[in-house]
Structure 1
Amino acid sequence: MSTLLRLATAGSVDDGKSTLVGRLLHDCKAILADQIAHVQHVSSTRGAGDFDFALLTDGLRAEREQGITIDVAYRYFATDKRSFILADCPGHVQYTRNTVTGASTADVVIILVDARHGVLEQTRRHLAVAGLLRVPHVVLAVNKIDLVNYDEAVFKAIAKDVVDLADQLGISDVKAIPVSALAGDNVVDRSTRTSWYDGPTLLEFLENADGRDDISSQPLRFPVQYVIRPQTDDEYRDYRGYAGTVAAGKVSAGDEVIVLPAGRRTTVAGVDRAVVSPSSSAVADAGTAVAGQAVTIRLADNLDVARGSVIVAADSSPGTRRELVATVAWLSDRPLTVGARVLIKHTTTTAQAIVTRIGGALDLDTLGVIDATELNLNDIGKVQLKVAAPLAADPYSSNAITGSFLLIDAHDGWTLAAGMIDDVEGEPL
């Protein structure tokens, strides 16, 4: 089990996400005394009682003034068992793009449901996002259980509804926990008022949850970010290295690799890391690098390698594609239509692309695919793209880094969509 867990919260407006996160941080003793004093002062000023836990995560002044979460608030905390990076995502429909951002790297997504209201449209949308991003674990926090008198039947009915939805979306691991963020029931400490619940508290679940699969065992994928060719230092005058971060697998000197999109085969001559001292900067042979490490690779042959090239394992090359079938979360106010010209950002490559087909959109009521001629804000749909440059792309199901992309407006640089590449044959939504 990894000692670091990345988690994100999601849910509808006023379901209590920020309060839950604030309670979690407070009861884990992850809040400094001066922060507690400040929250107590602001809570009193706003007439929010002795302590408004939501203020511990709504860090932006505009958020505090409005009493809502409008951006992803990242917090870092630790217990005796492990460390956490937490993304508190907004619940408003217009900020769904922020939820996609927060959940994209999460090991666990905590989806809150108000026990009084049950499953809402945003619940369905956030479950769909978690399914598309293949988040390993989903926690259903049935919040405000105190406001329904800790009714077991209410909890079980909501849990069944969410599990049924999760099954349709291909989410296999859903854990339902009855909580009251305001009162602290089953957040860190077990509640005596839910004697009918014998599962873990939220913190117990998080401390024991597995992270994402180790991608170090997957085939090598190394997108080249920068070509290093020193021109002034005599010692490194002939040095040529390709810098980047290992996206999957591992790489060592002597490995046979292929450089895409050219398709040229060669051997790794060395794997270097920077060594910086007060007196000099140099490189040292790292021997081997694994997924997540930033290094510089030297090749045995002098090939035409540039930013956007991808160095891959010779025995497991994804090849290149100029046409992609993908599922996208559309994040722009302007509808996406067939014929739209966009920029696609895939690993370290940015290229022109055109939308050649819209294959349908996800109906959040039935979770089926409906015909669509365009995608509107927050729609999740199937598209086909034709790309001007060949991309070394994997299906998202195989590799989340080389299988994902962004669509960008070529005129103003705004992010339009987050995309997940389907298998070659295409997959249902």
Structure 2
Amino acid sequence: MLIPKGYKQTEIGIIPEEWQVKKFYICFNFLSNNTFSRKNLNFIKGSIKNIHYGDILTKFSNIINIKKEKLPFINEDIIIRNTETFVNNGDIIFADTAEDYTVGKAIEVVGIENQKVVSGLHTIHCRLTNLVNFSSGWLGYYLNSKYYHDQLLPYITGIKVSSISKSSIKKTSILLPPLKEQANIVKIISDMDSLIFSIQNLINKKKAIRQGAIQELLTGKRRLQGFRGKWVKKRLGDIGFTYTGLSGKNKNDFQQGNAMYIPFLNILNNPIIDINDFEIVNVNNGEKQNKVLKGDLLFNNSSENPEEVGICSLLDDNIDNLYLNSFCFGYRLKDKNISGLYLSYYFRSNLGRMLMIKLAQGITRYNLSKSKFLSSTILLANTFEEQKAIASILFDMDKEIKSLEDKKIKYEKIKQGIMQQLLTGRIRLLD
């Protein structure tokens, strides 16, 4: 392999000539975990805080700032027998056990001046030696990069629950760019993190506003300008009818054929069906199956818990030769004065969810009785125009939230690309 000018070959790949590779055990000492039991972890205000396994897995950033984070408190009267369990700035805390790929995820700790913080259960606590220097934030990003995590993969053990040991982490290596370059890299990536974080905050704000609007508009607590009149009760069996999904199919009928069907998760995840998320099925000529038409409302009819039974989605497009998966049922309106989009939002609101939970039957698995569904009554706006206006407002809110979520995903991908280039030295930041 041709090595570019200004780069060199190392045990972990080609890196800039000015960069160093250091073994983990040279950079860090491993400290003992705390020894207090779980019964001591009282979530009350105290003078000692605890960094625990969940904090590592749920951090938006790879750097944890104790000043800003609301970590669980432990009882201030606990006697910590090993003072090494206290965390210092620059310490690294690894998650050593997980049920998924998050094993080996790490955080770098900053901002703990004048506070007592201890490392927690199911973690590996590492402290810098005096042999190396790192710019604040570099380790938080580098140790969570694919570039470093690939070194951990051969040492991760377990099937249902994965784990990694201190001895395995000791065998890994860390890239050490010049301090100034580390700081420049951290600045670029942390600016991306701040941008992504601000978008997520805006998404959360918009979702809260949407939830409030749903509760007010779908209950009639707030009426839109120009609409009056008492809302009406409608029996679902009087305004529509149900039909079943695909039946009599085996595995050979799927992944091939002349028709499409709406998968289960498309209904659960969307108030309006995503027309780019269909799957293929074979339906023979003359076969008695129910087609899904524009305006149909679709529901899942069973779940392991009642809160997830009867999630609703609307097909709002004309799609030829489209069917429904066998785990769901369809509901077709016969009253043209009812808005399907309005009902989709209604059934996904707290009002609709309370109704579905009430209708769910079962012990270990809950099913929705279609006969009881059809005999149920709902309260709704008395005119199609008001229903349409309410649904339009909620649709616009969803559209705005979806746009922000797409924007966040875009910047997350950009960030990953930037990290891959900067953390490996493929792109240099020398000034």
What is the TM-score when the length of structure 1 is the normalising length? 0.23
Radius of gyration: which is bigger?
2
Q: Counting helix residues as a fraction of each chain, which structure ranks higher?
A: 2
Q: Counting strand residues as a fraction of each chain, which structure ranks higher?
A: 1
Higher relative contact order (CA 8 A, sep 6+): 2
What is the TM-score when the length of structure 2 is the normalising length? 0.23
